[in-house]
Amino acid sequence: MKKINIILIYVFILFFSSCQKQSILEKETPQVYRIFLSGNTNTELELLFRDKVVATSLNQGGIAGTIYLNTFGLENPEIIIREKISQKIVGARKIDTSKYYQELLVFYEDGKIYSDRIYYKINGFVLSGDLEFLLDGKLIYEGTSKIELSKTILIDGENSRKLEIRKKGETEILLTENINPKEKNQSISFFFDGKEMVKDIKMDPPKNPNNMAISVQFKSTFNNPNSADLFFQNKSEIDLIAFTRKKGKENTSRGTPEIRVEPEIRLTIPTNGTFVNFELPPLEDQTLEYSFDILEKGTNNIPYILGTNSLSIYGPVGANQGRFGSGIIVTPGKSKLLSITDATRTSSLPKKHQLAYIKITDLSDYLN
């Protein structure tokens, strides 16, 4: 009996020792994670783990590479980020212990750390003046005429950033956009006529597929009654009256006016820059295009008079009759976004006088 007890005690000791060794083995098992580093910085950075440098930024400011980290014994493992020269700690990134493979994004710009980036596209057209574009109050771009800007914008978590547009040299903000940190690709389009900003203008297809849809706005440049040429009598609306002429050819002969379209095509447009929508039917003669005159709404009267400082040799303001100015060629099924303003020229026939004609800026390609 005594012998049996000794054997049992020996077996128990062996079993206990085995369990103890297994427990120690489990605790010492490495907890390794594979981490892919990606990002960019304008200041040299070091990444630390367990107080040791495990990665540094590249010469060109890039952050790239793969590291393997053993988190054994750490409850909340994280990578510390610091400036290489100043040794200033600028941020930290937690290691997700539920994933063996993970990506760590690090972006550092002007003393601030960011965790991701979005891609922002700005398309626009500036008819007059220069614009400045600001990100969180900092100037990032300035331009005029056609604006095509693709920008990588850094973000931190769910904190939004702010894009603002203003006229160069002024403080008044024309347009403010809050940038959503959850949308990877974002864009805006705009049109600025020198005074008013219009955002995200929609171009719908024509209801009749044989026609061309146009969205159009008008503002006069002749707003000074004391000018040396013309003065636009401030009407709230004007009519554009359609003529036809040979494609791409202004008629320089005052003796032969263009042909006014019958039945009449009369497009009523506000003079404050508001966009309105119309459809133009195609012309049967494919060698022709539309041209237009500016008339008072509902009449055949010209809404211009001579400025008070115009030359006395001029007679009354004459009718353009579709001769000069921009034309429109209809492409069935297409849509156009147009900005119309006015200009003047002098004609000597039958008597020296001035006339007004339209100038068209096609915004369709700029704002798509």
Q: pLDDT tens digits for 316-358?
A: 788 888 888 899 999 999 999 999 999 998 776 556 678 889 9
Segment among 36-50, 121-135, 227-241, 345-359 with least mean pLDDT: 345-359
Does the pLDDT at position 121 exceed 50?
yes
Rg of the chain (C-alpha set)? 36
Mean pLDDT of the chain: 85
Nearest CA-CA partner of 32 in 65, 64, 63, 73: 73
Specify the DSSP class assigned to residue 355.
E
Split at pLDDT 50, 70, 90, the class of 8 is: very low
Measured in degrees and rounded to the nearest 5, phi and psi for residue 8 equal: -65, -40
How large is the average pLDDT for residues 110-130? 90
Supply the pLDDT for residue 310: 81
> Is the distance from CB of 343 to CB of 220 less than 8 angstroms?
no
Residue 201: CB atoms within 10 Å: 15
Specify the DSSP class assigned to residue 281.
P
Supply the pLDDT for residue 248: 82
CA distance 218 to 271: 5
How large is the average pLDDT for residues 211-234? 91
Nearest CA-CA partner of 155 in 137, 132, 180: 180
Residue 241, CA atoms < 13 Å, CB-side half-sphere: 24
* Residues whose CB is less than 8 angstroms from the CB of residue 348 and which lie 6 or more positions away in sequence, other chains included: 254
How large is the average pLDDT for residues 72-88? 91
Does the pLDDT at position 16 exceed 50?
no
pTM: 0.71
- Strand segments, DSSP code E, in 71-211 are 78-83, 89-94, 101-109, 112-114, 116-135, 138-155, 161-167, 173-179, 185-192, 197-199
Residue 368: alpha-carbon gap to chain centroid? 10
More confident residue, 114 or 365: 114
Residue 87: CB atoms within 10 Å: 8
How large is the average pLDDT for residues 218-241? 91
Supply the pLDDT for residue 253: 65
Does the pLDDT at position 223 exceed 60?
yes
Cα dihedral value 68, 71, 72, 74, nearest 10: 170
User: What is the sign of the dihedral through the CA atoms of 249, 254, 255 and 260?
Assistant: positive
> Is the distance from CB of 100 to CB of 35 less than 8 angstroms?
no
At residue 231, what is the residue type? F
Parallel/antiparallel/unpaired status of strands 89-94 and 304-306: unpaired
Supply the pLDDT for residue 312: 64
Specify the DSSP class assigned to residue 328.
B
> Is the distance from CB of 266 to CB of 210 less than 8 angstroms?
no
| Residue 86 tokens, joined | 């100043």
Split at pLDDT 50, 70, 90, the class of 59 is: low
CA distance 61 to 39: 9
Supply the pLDDT for residue 232: 93
Does the pLDDT at position 15 exceed 50?
no
Residue 259, CA atoms < 13 Å, CB-side half-sphere: 10
Residue 158: alpha-carbon gap to chain centroid? 21
> Is the distance from CB of 240 to CB of 220 less than 8 angstroms?
no
